[in-house]
Amino acid sequence: MEIPLMADGRADRRGQMRFVTEFVTCELFADAVQAPKAVTPAAYSDGSFRVIECSSCGLVYVSP
């Protein structure tokens, strides 16, 4: 596979980028069930964020 070059001669590896996200648990009740409420696209990448609600304390947070 040939890697394309950018105008300045450097290798253009933007097409090879992979976005890996992690699942974040509630800071207060890590063992509680975490219920997804929504998924929203990330403004700065090809990934997305999950809006989660903790079933124990009701905390709503973004993961990751």
- Concatenated DSSP letters for 1-42? -PPPB-TTS-B--GGG------PPPPSS-TTS-EEEEEEEE-
| 7 occurs within a structural domain | no
| Domain, as residue range, for 38 | 18-63
| 24 occurs within a structural domain | yes
Q: What is the pLDDT averaged over residues 42-59?
A: 81
Question: Could you tell me if residue 15 is left (phi over 0), alpha (psi between -120 and 50 degrees) or otherwise beta?
Answer: alpha
| 53 occurs within a structural domain | yes
| 54 occurs within a structural domain | yes
| 35 occurs within a structural domain | yes
| 55 occurs within a structural domain | yes
Q: What domain count does the chain have?
A: 1
**6-44 pLDDT, tens per residue?**
888 887 766 665 555 567 788 888 888 888 888 887 776
- What's the N-to-C CA distance of the chain in angstroms? 33
| 27 occurs within a structural domain | yes
The answer to whether 45 touches 21, Cβ cutoff 8 Å, is: no
Q: What is the pTM of this model?
A: 0.53
